[in-house]
Structure 1
């Protein structure tokens, strides 16, 4: 992976530095996007992270981006669709200045049975948010649109032409470099222990080493670790933390193809990656259990990887026969995603402290929605009219008064709506 300037930023002479107007905790896609949009709005910003940019969950991102609200995620609406389009446009612009593995190939949903076609493919064609150019595909048309896919392995498909692919870690490092060019300072390898609150307002953070980093406002973009910072304030966000896995094959000469989504096969997704494939499905996921369970920054659950590899090898061999022995040629990576009780993101003010904001709850789609959510939070912090997304849908306090314990991750998982509409109807 090429080096990016943001990975090795130095701090310089602290005595000559003005206090930041905003301190962003976390340098994944959520934090970096928030910092960039704040800087573009004229704010002095510092980003602090226990590691270096894009070294946590973002580095495990699968990197496919699309209009998921237009048929795939039935519980989302125009607000998420607008955030998704913002992300697509954002990455197109970023790709003009850096190599982020950008692919402009669209997304194709596939079925492997007549029932799957009825339940998962036909609803796309009836969806009110169906984008321009979207269309149903016969098996033969699938093979034309997706070179390498066997028409005999599918019963049909649906094309969203506007979807894109990126390398999530490369895009985040390129974004970090853009953030640095915008004048944002980085405090890397600096774990944050707590939020500083004085007279009811957030005034900075205290690091694990005991140092105080002060600012006019604080944005928590700490992913699955956010609740550890909010707990002393009496606020718990309803997260169900889930370990997610993906596999990557050796290159075998595959050209660029759309991202493939097969909902009936436990959410299987497949995309091209440097001439090979990267892929995953529900077999590579595992809930962490309870709030007391530690979330590793870089998980190493090889048992999940081995099980998913064994499950998917025959499926992929039938779908894309030219890929060789899928059981033996895969590398892997894992990260921790945060699912919310209503599958919507959390972005907005924390009621317990003035000037404290949060952007979290990626719902396994942080790469797609990160740019738009960063812009949304920056607009809220600066008092600007949000250009994408409805802030009322993402308020952190919207779960107050619910009839389940938001600190109980099992209860949060039980409250979540079904992933697919057909399952919810049943």
Structure 2
């Protein structure tokens, strides 16, 4: 057999691509190749917050049952994955906390018992109990607790998914940057890489921020990369049994959610920010890696977290490291999954909208079902990759559409 010919090539070994490849082999596709310029989980997935829960209850007003279904699928998927791999998994829930009455409007929407039956309202004097004694709630307004949610290490999870794929017979090609598509007419028949061509009956591009570079200029995927950052302290012996915490009312304009969670005895926290370098990739080329991104936005994250240091002294440390990622947002904040009409043989999984780890397992299953001709397990029509037609042709077009839809984008 020609090892450069396969049934399906999946480009990008982050949470979305690795999950798509895994579900393809689970669906019976025998020859699947997962290609990445570095290795599994080395891009935006590495910087993921690691929250998985019923975000569709309040994260974005445009989301619906489809997003909620993949979120619950992801909880079950990661629960099972954790029985075979160390992904720092724990089933400790998510707690959304409002600083004051103005911030409550950003938190109250997460309490929707029609979509999240186990959602609980938490009064200030109950926050200490819910956080297993970690957090004094006396200075807060109110909170919402979602006990069904889980947390994990995003990078470890992406690598574990790729390992599962390899165990089932999939082929992982790391450190093999894809430089473009191979086409016969309009039909896509493989990919060019820095180490030679790879051919396939079908190609799935799940390259995140690099997807449009891979697609080459003759097709534009309507998504725009925005830089996000997180901070991780040195080990502080932080207990691991409290929920992931999301605080509303601490960003400069009051609308962003500052999240804090335990990470192997450390504190791991972040939030989106309107400062540079959030928009740096809208008009500039995508770098090979995110290591060299400037730290301007981190100062806003730091300002927000300083308001909580009296409750979590570890946030005041000057000893921390930073991880950057660039999740891609679509004009309607929903995913892009499926075939590209103008390019037979080409499929995409994109538009993570900042929730690739949360939705990746379910989106990967949907993508595999579409590629193999099966009926998706959830209603995938809202994610049709062709739904915008040719309305958007540049990152700037998508960015302006997002700005008009939601005002200043202070959260992703």
- What is the TM-score with the length of structure 1 in the denominator? 0.88
Q: How much has 1:416 moved relative to structure 2?
A: 4.1
Q: How much has 1:257 moved relative to structure 2?
A: 1.1
Alignment-derived partner of residue 188 in structure 2: 202
Alignment-derived partner of residue 206 in structure 2: 221
Alignment-derived partner of residue 221 in structure 2: 237
1:77 aligned residue (40, 48, 64): 64
Q: How much has 1:137 moved relative to structure 2?
A: 0.4
Question: 2-side partners of 1:145 and 1:290: how far apart?
Answer: 40
Inter-CA distance 410–305: structure 2 relative to 1 (3 Å threshold): closer
For the Cα contact (< 8 Å) 2:181–2:216, is it kept in 1? no
Pair 1:157 & 2:127 matched:
no
Pair 1:371 & 2:361 matched:
yes
Per mean C-alpha deviation after superposition, the further-off stretch among 235-244 and 340-349 is 235-244
Question: 2-side partners of 1:369 and 1:54: how far apart?
Answer: 15
Alignment-derived partner of residue 127 in structure 2: 142
Matches for 1:88-167 after TM superposition, within 5 Å: 88-117=75-104, 119-126=105-112, 128-129=114-115, 131-146=116-131, 147-167=133-153
Q: How much has 1:254 moved relative to structure 2?
A: 2.4
Alignment-derived partner of residue 253 in structure 2: none
Inter-CA distance 31–122: structure 2 relative to 1 (3 Å threshold): closer
* CA deviation map 1:6-30 (0-9, x unaligned): xxxxxxxxx6648311011111111
Alignment-derived partner of residue 269 in structure 1: 259
Matches for 1:171-190 after TM superposition, within 5 Å: 171-190=157-176
Alignment-derived partner of residue 312 in structure 1: 304
Alignment-derived partner of residue 44 in structure 2: 57
Question: 1-side partners of 2:8 and 2:263: how far apart?
Answer: 37
Inter-CA distance 400–325: structure 2 relative to 1 (3 Å threshold): closer
Secondary structure of 1:381's aligned partner: helix
**Structure number having the greater helix percentage:** 1
* CA deviation map 1:279-329 (0-9, x unaligned): 1112376112534433342233353365135403422213x34x3462413
Q: How much has 1:204 moved relative to structure 2?
A: 0.8
Contiguous gaps of at least 5 residues in structure 2: 251-255
Pair 1:326 & 2:326 matched:
no
* CA deviation map 1:222-257 (0-9, x unaligned): 11111123244x321222211110011233332221
Question: 1-side partners of 2:150 and 2:184: how far apart?
Answer: 45
Inter-CA distance 52–18: structure 2 relative to 1 (3 Å threshold): closer
Q: How much has 1:85 moved relative to structure 2?
A: 0.9
- What is the TM-score with the length of structure 2 in the denominator? 0.90
Secondary structure of 1:286's aligned partner: coil
Q: How much has 1:122 moved relative to structure 2?
A: 3.1
Alignment-derived partner of residue 285 in structure 2: 293
Secondary structure of 2:308's aligned partner: helix
Question: 2-side partners of 1:377 and 1:414: how far apart?
Answer: 28
* CA deviation map 1:69-122 (0-9, x unaligned): 0123222110000111111111001000011100110111100112222x1233
Inter-CA distance 325–288: structure 2 relative to 1 (3 Å threshold): closer
For the Cα contact (< 8 Å) 1:227–1:237, is it kept in 2? yes
Calculate the aligned-residue CA RMSD, in Å.
2.3
Per mean C-alpha deviation after superposition, the further-off stretch among 134-143 and 255-264 is 255-264
